[in-house]
Amino acid sequence: MVRYAAVPENPAKSAKARGSYLRTHFKNTREVAKTISGMKLRKAVAFLNDVKEHKQAVPFRRFSGGVGRTAQAKVWGVTQARWPQKSCEFMLGLLKNAESNAEVKGLNIDNLVVRHIQVNQAPKQRRRTYRAHGRINPYMSHPCHIELTLVEEEKQVQREEQQLVQKLSKRRQVRARVQAARAPAATA
């Protein structure tokens, strides 16, 4: 069994999946992973399918050099975003694998949340490109390792509705105290 970076609190209520040496760009995959982290499984799958169809964009926050701007990035509070097809394909495959692992464990698929997701750099693969004047430059690929954990969330207990208490500013509080102190003196 391979060691994961994060250990779930309750292993019986979680499902894991991982991929190693995946031929997809590390930087793009990292941004996709950061975006779907914390999402429910169904929402994450729908989001990735929307990205493939260019209906939604993945915000690029860390590796944003040279990334174009798009109006679809406004949803995430940034200006730069892209639609990394291959990274989304690999991520969908891992989510599907983790979902299958959850079904085997008997977990409720609708309550699964992406609790942990991590993308690491894998060893680069070398090729070469031929340049002018007989020179040769490296032509490297940047593959990655991905691991993720889905956790079945407990049902949220609703908080008891409390009476809304109007908060007063300091000046109003002092004024109310002074009026309360004067009121008994006036009646006496």
Question: How large is the average pLDDT for residues 57-67?
Answer: 97
Q: Which domains does the chain have, with CATH numbers?
A: 11-152 (3.90.470.10)
Instruction: At 135, list the tokens.
Output: 């020179």
- The runs of H, that is alpha helices, within the chain are 26-36, 41-52, 85-105, 170-187
Q: Which residue in this structure is represented by tokens 């994961």?
A: 4
pTM as predicted: 0.81
Asked which of 8-17, 31-40, 162-171 is least confident by mean pLDDT, the reply is 162-171
Specify whether the CB–CB gap between 152 and 115 falls below 8 A: no
Predicted local distance difference test score (pLDDT) of residue 128: 98
Average per-residue pLDDT in the chain? 93
Q: What are phi and psi of 138, to 5 degrees?
A: -70, 150
Specify whether the CB–CB gap between 23 and 89 falls below 8 A: no
CA–CA gap between residue 165 and residue 163 (Å, rounded): 6
At residue 98, the 3 state secondary structure works out as: helix
Model confidence at 167: pLDDT above 70: yes
